[in-house]
Structure 1
Amino acid sequence: MDKLILRDQKIAADRFTGEKIEHASFINCDFSAADLTDTQFIDVQFYHRDSQLGCNFSRATLRDASFKNCDLSMSNFSNANLLGIEIRDSMLQGADFRGASFMNIIAPKVWFCSAYITKCNLSYANFANVVLEKCELWENRWLGTQVMGAKFSGSDLSGGEFSAFDWRTLDITHCDLTRSSLGELDVRYVDLEGVKLDSDQAAALMERLGILVVS
């Protein structure tokens, strides 16, 4: 079967709903408002290196969709429904998640989030004001990721690589940060209530305050 390659196309709303797409390439394609519920993408390219363009998923429905070993760099997920999304071992550099929802709202003030974004490169992605509470976000690279106003409370951020990352601008209370490289995290300016750290991390943070931790 020939490899699926689409360029500069507007994707019809139900074209790939619930499908399994493997080893395909989408070049500057517009998935905006498409229904991709339960759709699986495996080894798919959504980023075109020559043009440096990603694909547009704005306002799309991606409930329980999955991306494995995909290149989603520079893709636009703004205002998309991403409840239950799974993105693993993928590239997401510069991806825009502003306005995206990972929430299931049951009633006013009653809701939960669901997302599995693991072993991904999130460098320079934009999660400003995004709510990703109690989600699996482990072993990601967070270089220069924009997180102003984001809420990650209770999420698993273990094994992450954080650099050029402004910890002061988001809520990380009750997060698991064990095995993570914490960059410039300063305990004087970040609310660490309920945060899980390993002993080496705690000692390093105390040393920045001039406190020597001995065993």
Structure 2
Amino acid sequence: MRELNMEERVKKLLEKHKDDKDLTSEMDYIELGWDWSEADLTGWNLEGLKLSTYDEKANFKNVFMVAANLKGVIFEGANLERATLGSSILENADFNNANLEGADFEGSDLKKSLFYRANLKKADFRGADLKDTNFMDSNLYKTILGGTNLQNAILTKCNLQEAYLGGANLENVDLHGSNLRDADFSEDTKLHNVNLFKCKIENSNLKFAFNQIDDKVIQE
């Protein structure tokens, strides 16, 4: 019997569950590193699945996972370039070392998710809940973070150059050692108890949110 290749396996699996849209029962069947590129998983349930690791990277380029349950899913090292994950549940998801350039997370629940050393260049998080999320050492160049809830998030040693943070809640956020050059803030950006120690802030309009800073540490 001919062994199915990655793409065919995914197509077969999606056809099997096209009515219930639930892959949680396939945990033992789904292997790491599959090619899911351009799959439409809108409204599907993948909660708790381990789909990718640093050594066995899965491909989710251009996938649609809108309004999906992706709570606790492990996407470590995966390629999610230009993936659409808006309005999805992604609490405790693992995106460590993943490529998320141009990905869309608008309005998603990403509380306590992991983005350590992830590439988030030009990703869109508008209105997302990012409370307690870890972005340490990630690339967020030109990332849209407008209107997000970033309370207690870890953003140390990140590249946030030209990032948009208008209206974001950065209460208790740790930005220690991050690059905020040309970052775009607004008067309603909340910076209560934010740590800006050793941040690079040249040409950012941080002054617009200055009245929101009441416990700041800025040193270059």
TM range (shorter): 0.7 to 0.9
CA deviation vs aligned residue, 1:146-166 (integer Å, no higher than 9, x gap): 011111121111111100223
* C-alpha distance in structure 1 between counterparts of 2:140 and 2:216, whole Å: 23
* C-alpha distance in structure 2 between counterparts of 1:25 and 1:188, whole Å: 38
* C-alpha distance in structure 2 between counterparts of 1:158 and 1:129, whole Å: 22
User: Is 2:39 aligned against 1:4?
Assistant: yes
User: Is 2:155 aligned against 1:132?
Assistant: yes
* C-alpha distance in structure 2 between counterparts of 1:124 and 1:98, whole Å: 12
1:155-194 matches, within 5 Å, as 155-163=178-186, 164-182=188-206, 183-185=208-210, 189=214, 191-194=216-219
- Of residues 68, 71, 96, the one that matches 2:129 is 96
Counterpart for residue 31 of structure 1: 70
Amino acid across the alignment from 1:5: D
RMSD of equivalent CA atoms: 2.3
Amino acid across the alignment from 1:155: S
Counterpart for residue 118 of structure 2: 85
Counterpart for residue 201 of structure 1: none
Counterpart for residue 31 of structure 2: none
1:53-72 matches, within 5 Å, as 54-72=87-105
| Structure 1 gaps, min length 5 | 48-53, 103-112, 196-215
Amino acid across the alignment from 1:177: I
* C-alpha distance in structure 2 between counterparts of 1:44 and 1:187, whole Å: 34
Aligned-pair distance for 1:173?
1.9
Identity %: 16
Q: Which has the higher strand share?
A: 1
- Pairs aligned (count): 179
Counterpart for residue 208 of structure 1: none
Aligned-pair distance for 1:77?
1.6
Aligned-pair distance for 1:82?
2.2
TM-score by length of 2: 0.73
Rate the CA distance shift 1:115–1:161 in 2: closer, same or farther, 3 A. Answer: same
| Structure 2 gaps, min length 5 | 1-6, 8-36
Aligned-pair distance for 1:20?
1.9
